[in-house]
Amino acid sequence: MTDLTTRLGTLELANPVLTAAGCGGTGRELARFFDLARLGAFTTTSVMLRPRAGRPTPRVAETPSGVLTAMGLPGPGVDSFLETDLPWLAEQQVPVIVSVAGHSLEEYAEVARRAQESPAVAAVEVNLAAPNVEDRGRMFGRLPGPAADVVRAVRAVTRRDAPVLAKLAPDVSDLVTIALACVDAGADGLSLINTMAGLAIDPHTLRPTLAGVSGGLSGPAIRPVALRCVYEVHAALPGTPIVGIGGVATGLDALEFVLAGASAVAVGTTLFHDPTAGPRIARELEEALSARRIGRLADAVGLAHRLPPQGHVGHVPPQISPPPGADERRTEESKEKLP
Amino acid sequence: MTDTAGPGSGRAVGLRTSAIVLTVRQVQDYHAMTLVAPAVAERFRPGQFVALAVGGEHTGRLVRRCLAVYEVKPDYGGTVEVVFDHRGSRDPGTGWLAGRRARDMVDVVGPLGRPFRLPRDPVNCLLVGGGPGAAALFALADTLRRRECRVHFLLGGRSAPAVFGARSARRIGDSATVVTEDGSLGDTGTVRDVLPRVIEESAADVVYACGPTGLLRSVSAVATEYGLPSQVSVEEFLQQTGACGVGLCMTCVLPIIGDDGVTRMARACTDGLVMRGDRVRWGDLGTIPLDALGAPRALGGGL
């Protein structure tokens, strides 16, 4: 049996496969397909202070291996979330990560303060892609200063046993500097990455496809970008847990993120295509680790940084032995990979 | 079968299945695909839809195509037939579906969405269909007839090959009116033109509709003028705006007036597919009405 348990700061998770914010609905929609307790954690849609209708339709465009969405952070607001959505999630025996967003520091802090009062909330994720009304609507996570301010405000009102994760978008000038600023401000972990800005134009109507004109690109199309971000940030901050997000569709995709330095992965757009993907990816990841004789997920976190380049002469790669009693089953795949 | 819900979990086992294609055939302007999907067929209620993955196992197209179910049959343990407009939609994903052959596999999620609500008493029902959307009315007609309702059809389209199911409607309906814009089949004109006359002649007690959004808007307005309840399937709107079909992606939203009089942005896939026609703010589709819950405010709440 491969040990899939993982940690995000003080939070221990039974497995490393989470849902990504904004992609798992209220949880009830996914629960028609599988028991949410089979997830490492459920991340909510970003909760804001007041109800928000979001953007007009069309909100989504299909692009190669991805989707472009302009949602406008729709949601019921924190009151309704605490009254109806969170109590239901609390009964599902799954750690709940509440994603919080706001238009100002005060709004972020207010939502986080009210959400963290519930013992059902295991962690708070700070969506730094929300538009800052004091900065002409540009996102907080665009620069280290505003990003750190939000993280500090949320950390200050969140109970110590609930980690605060900062979720960052990749299309910034210097992601590592922003990540460092967030950790300095008290972030216990990082969620990498949010969507990146993109555009689709309908060749028939000759106009932008989305009502919001530009949108956020997600799905396997951004996986290499996400992987690069995780790799770079892990290299700079090896002690900071990272949730890898961006086009995770299979267990091998998840493994790539783990090897790059992620302690967990979150599945987003893939759920739209395959609502059963969460438990499937966890199972596939377990099989992939087992096939590589890696007995503990924790041993694989960041492993790509520690192994020498392939074909390197004169260096013996570190051997990872399975723990006693580990599953000795060898799949077709393992025969290929292991002599 | 790829569903991961275990036995005894209380979950809908088989909500997601790999279905075998039985046939794909061209029907006039459209394609009709029959899938062997017993779990879907068994639970299906008229008005529900299926969400099909397109492009095969390693597809780069992540959006599911949502299609109302035309017919379910007990053959091969249970089959499901859908009708879609591949040429009109210009969608390569739908083109992929049209290119399937017998024994190919298609990944299906369903049945999904709220079905048509059925009358308690044997009343006069008018079923209004436009284009390929008319397909969704035939399973409903069967169910209504079993409840001893009288079933009247009104079907429309641009021209004769665009009117789906005219012959079936004549066979099973207590009456069937067909209208085409070019006069190539039935009356010349639009559904809107003849709807008041058909409502009066059929003494309709309730109106059901599926078809282009403009048609649903007309049907809802005319039904309300006559004081009749309308049940409309917003299939076309879901096809144009949705991505997942199961309520996760929040992209297929339209403004709906609730019992409390408040307008909310509701999901076509889970709050529909069938909605009360008089509750949809047809003129505001594709917008966020300023009085909707959570609408952007003039100051402060922007973006």
Helix (H) / strand (E) containing B217: helix B213-225
Category of B8 on φ-ψ map: left (φ > 0), alpha (ψ -120 to 50) or beta: left
Please give the CATH architecture assigned to the domain spanning A8-53+72-197+218-277+297-307.
Alpha-Beta Barrel (3.20)
Contact (CB<8Å) A65/B301: no
pLDDT-based confidence at residue A1 (cuts at 50, 70, 90): confident
Amino acid A335: pLDDT: 47
pLDDT of A69-89, one tens digit each?
A: 999 999 999 999 999 999 999
Contact (CB<8Å) A69/B303: no
Nearest to A92 by CA among A41, A33, A20: A41
Q: Considering chain A, what is the average pLDDT of its residues?
A: 93
Query: In sequence order, what DSSP letters do the residues of A214-258 get, joined into one string?
Result: EEEEESGGGHHHHHHHHHHHHHH-TTS-EEEES---SHHHHHHHH
**Would you state the structure tokens that stand for residue A228, as one six-digit string?**
């690069």
**Residue among B4, B243, B250 minimizing CB distance to A276:** B4
d(C-alpha B166, C-alpha B114), whole Å: 26
pLDDT of B62-92, one tens digit each?
A: 999 999 999 999 999 999 999 999 887 789 9
Is A262 within 8 Å of A244 (Cβ atoms)?
yes
Amino acid B253: pLDDT: 97
d(C-alpha A237, C-alpha A231), whole Å: 10
Whether A327 has a pLDDT exceeding 70, the answer reads no
Residues of chain B with pLDDT under 70: 1-14, 298-303
Query: Which residues, 6 or more positions from A276, have their beta carbon under 8 angstroms from its beta carbon?
Result: A33, A34, B2, B3, B4, B16
User: A-chain residues within 8 Å CB-CB of B264?
Assistant: 53
Residues A33/A38/A39/A41 CA torsion (nearest 10 deg): 120
Contact (CB<8Å) B253/A54: yes
d(C-alpha B238, C-alpha A58), whole Å: 10
Whether A235 has a pLDDT exceeding 70, the answer reads yes
Q: What is the residue type of B100?
A: R
**Min Cα–Cα distance to chain A from B266, Å:** 10
Query: In sequence order, what DSSP letters do the residues of A54-71 get, joined into one string?
Result: -PPSP-EEEETTEEEE--
User: A-chain residues within 8 Å CB-CB of B60?
Assistant: 64-65, 220
Whether A66 has a pLDDT exceeding 60, the answer reads yes
Instruction: Calculate the alpha carbon distances from A79 to A50, A87, A140, B274 in Å.
Output: 8, 12, 24, 29
Amino acid B59: pLDDT: 95
pLDDT-based confidence at residue A313 (cuts at 50, 70, 90): low
d(C-alpha A28, C-alpha A45), whole Å: 13
Do the strands A6-8 and A264-267 form a parallel or antiparallel pair, or are they unpaired? Answer: unpaired
Amino acid A136: pLDDT: 79
Share of chain A above pLDDT 90, in %: 88
Q: What is the residue type of A201?
A: I
pTM of the predicted model, to two decimals? Answer: 0.92
**Min Cα–Cα distance to chain B from A185, Å:** 27
Nearest to A30 by CA among B113, B237, B12, B67: B12
User: A-chain residues within 8 Å CB-CB of B16?
Assistant: 33, 274-276
Amino acid B271: pLDDT: 96
Question: What is the number of CB-based contacts under 8 A between chain A and chain B?
Answer: 147
Q: What is the CA radius of gyration of chain B?
A: 19
DSSP state of B259: T
Amino acid A6: pLDDT: 98
**Would you state the structure tokens that stand for residue B278, as one six-digit string?**
């008089």
Best mutation target among B48, B66, B248, B253 (most A Cβ atoms within 10 Å) is B248
Q: What is the CA radius of gyration of chain A?
A: 20
pLDDT-based confidence at residue A106 (cuts at 50, 70, 90): very high
Q: At what angle do helices A144-157 and A105-116 cross, to 10 degrees?
A: 30
d(C-alpha B265, C-alpha B229), whole Å: 22
Q: Per-residue b/e over B11-38, b at no fewer than 16 CB within 10 Å?
A: bebbbbbbbbbbebeeebbbbbbbbbbb
For chain A, domain boundaries: 8-53+72-197+218-277+297-307
The strands making up A196-199's β-sheet, listed across from edge to edge, are A60-63, A66-69, A214-218, A196-199
Q: At what angle do helices A223-236 and A175-184 cross, to 10 degrees?
A: 50
User: B-chain residues within 8 Å CB-CB of A251?
Assistant: none
Could you give the domains of chain B?
16-112 (2.40.30.10), 124-244 (3.40.50.80)
Is A116 within 8 Å of A109 (Cβ atoms)?
no
Is A242 within 8 Å of A263 (Cβ atoms)?
yes
d(C-alpha A111, C-alpha A73), whole Å: 14
Q: What is the residue type of A226?
A: A
Best mutation target among B52, B62, B254, B263 (most A Cβ atoms within 10 Å) is B62
Is the preceding peptide bond at A222 cis, omega within 30 degrees of 0? no
